[in-house]
């Protein structure tokens, strides 16, 4: 809980004690409750988890200012009910905290800005064109921390997640960009229903080390369910098309980056972006998009797939450039799983098995890296484990949350620093004794693969 929230609960408890034992001081206690409540609302902002505590506060203010009291028995019952309501707020505040994004490891301050870009997409099957509106958010090394801190989430329509707008980030809106040499750029594609900021841990870390990070929110898929589900054949038929569509979004974004590097209408990125040092990563379905975009666009020099199934051309042909496959510690698939009588589970297991074989084929043909984080789950490759200390709510694995973040960030930085900045990292050559939680393998590019790439 935040300090202001703790003070609201403490003031309410003090007022309840006054109601039962020191009634002459009830007016002063009510004034204190009101003062603490107003300071909390204006400084920290309200959130829905505190509604029961707010109700107790307002009731105490009404009783104190109006001089409303009752018999000792009634006051005791009311106080017990109020304490129960306060405990509800305390429990919700702890289970669904307003967390802070941990400080990044780099030296640079961090700025952020959001742009809206629209590309016209021509449908191959009908020849018709439609607009795809892309929300694009940048994180970059900043000259100063001028301006206000960026909200983690800006949307307010989702009531249960509305408190995420209060999360404390380390990024400042419209801060002036670092005036140094041109900066390398790393693009990001989120998960199936992912949000722009869902991997802020990686975004702020990379920006603090001198990278410009560009996260792209794609329009929802028109022909597919809202939830990702690889257990239905009709979905599996559409996912490659969607992966290609989103990969084309990324190529369009690269086009726009080249334009604003020449002349940014807002004069922020003009001359600051190095289009010869472009990389990309993605989480979940965004990992498939990262692989497909790296296959599609030669301007991308390296990429990372954070626990995403492969779809599209890259799934069959592999990724012909430095590529890093990061995976969670999922259950091993047995022959029994692959022949499961439940057709949907059987198809899902078969797709997971096929995906593993596709990754191995890409690594065998083109080389690259693979990493398995032991005791992790899919959500450990995003910010989601920060949303609650209860793993049941975040679907996080039993691996220590901070350890998992440190490992993912360390390998992510080493990979992009080596392939975009040319700085060698021993971490990428062999397993590290410092990370016993990791199964890491470097797959050197074979001679046959070298010849295939040159051809």
- pLDDT value at residue 448: 47
- pLDDT value at residue 304: 98
Its pTM stands at: 0.90
- pLDDT value at residue 123: 65
- pLDDT value at residue 126: 54
- pLDDT value at residue 144: 86
- pLDDT value at residue 253: 97
Q: What is the pLDDT of residues 332-359, one digit of tens each?
A: 665 666 677 778 888 888 888 899 999 9
- pLDDT value at residue 167: 93
- pLDDT value at residue 369: 97
CA 218 to chain centre: 15
Q: What is the pLDDT of residues 292-319, one digit of tens each?
A: 999 999 999 999 999 999 999 999 999 9
- The structure tokens 């920060």 sit at 386
Give residue 213's region: left, alpha or beta (phi > 0; psi -120 to 50).
Answer: beta
Choose which CATH entry (2.30.30.100, 3.90.1720.10, 3.40.50.1820, 3.30.70.260) describes domain 109-454: 3.40.50.1820
Average pLDDT for runs of 10 along the chain of length 455: 94 88 81 95 93 94 76 79 95 95 93 94 68 95 88 72 90 91 95 91 97 95 84 89 95 97 93 96 97 96 96 94 93 66 83 92 95 95 95 93 96 97 95 92 70 42
Q: Are strands 300-306 and 273-283 parallel, antiparallel or unpaired?
A: parallel
- pLDDT value at residue 158: 65
**Domain assignments of the chain as residue spans, ordered by start:** 3-95, 109-454
């Amino acid at each position: 809980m935040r300090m202001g929230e703790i003070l609201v609960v403490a003031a309410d408890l003090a007022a309840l004690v006054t109601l039962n034992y020191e009634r002459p001081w009830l007016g002063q206690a009510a004034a204190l409750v009101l003062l603490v409540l107003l300071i909390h609302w204006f400084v920290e902002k309200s959130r829905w988890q505190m509604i029961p505590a707010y109700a107790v506060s307002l009731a105490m203010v009404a009783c104190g200012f109006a001089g409303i009291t009752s018999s000792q028995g009634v006051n005791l019952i009311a106080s017990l009910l109020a304490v129960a309501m306060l405990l509800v707020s305390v429990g919700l505040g702890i289970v669904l905290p307003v967390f802070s994004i941990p400080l990044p490891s780099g030296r640079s301050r961090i700025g952020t800005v959001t742009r809206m870009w629209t590309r016209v997409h021509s449908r191959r099957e009908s020849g018709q064109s439609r607009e795809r509106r892309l929300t694009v958010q940048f994180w970059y090394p900043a000259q100063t921390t001028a301006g206000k801190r960026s909200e983690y989430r800006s949307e307010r329509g989702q009531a249960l997640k509305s408190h995420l707008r209060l999360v404390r980030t380390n990024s400042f809106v419209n801060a002036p960009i670092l005036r140094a040499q041109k900066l390398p750029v790393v693009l990001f594609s989120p998960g199936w229903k992912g949000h722009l900021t869902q991997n802020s841990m990686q975004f702020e870390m990379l920006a603090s080390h001198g990278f410009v990070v560009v996260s792209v929110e794609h329009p929802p898929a028109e022909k597919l369910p809202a939830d990702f589900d690889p257990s239905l054949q009709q979905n599996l038929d559409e996912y490659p098309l969607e992966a290609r569509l989103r990969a084309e979004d990324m190529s369009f974004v690269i086009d726009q980056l080249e334009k604003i590097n020449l002349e940014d209408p807002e004069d922020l990125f003009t001359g600051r972006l190095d289009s010869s040092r472009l990389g990309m990563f993605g989480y979940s379905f965004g990992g498939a998009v990262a692989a497909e975009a790296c296959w599609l666009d030669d301007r991308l020099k390296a990429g990372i797939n954070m626990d995403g199934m492969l779809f599209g051309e890259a799934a069959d042909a592999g990724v012909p450039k430095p590529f890093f496959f990061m995976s969670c510690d999922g259950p091993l698939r047995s022959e029994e799983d692959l022949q499961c009588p439940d057709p949907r589970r059987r198809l899902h297991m078969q797709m997971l098995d096929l995906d593993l074989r596709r990754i191995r084929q890409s690594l065998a043909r083109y080389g690259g890296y693979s990493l398995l984080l032991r005791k992790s789950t899919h959500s450990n490759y995003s910010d989601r484990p920060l949303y609650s200390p209860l793993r049941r709510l975040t679907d996080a694995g039993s691996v220590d949350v901070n350890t998992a973040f440190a490992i993912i960030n360390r390998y992510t930085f080493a990979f992009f620093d080596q392939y975009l900045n040319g700085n060698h990292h021993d971490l990428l050559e062999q397993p590290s004794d410092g990370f016993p939680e990791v199964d890491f393998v470097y797959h050197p590019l074979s001679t046959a693969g070298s010849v295939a790439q040159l051809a």
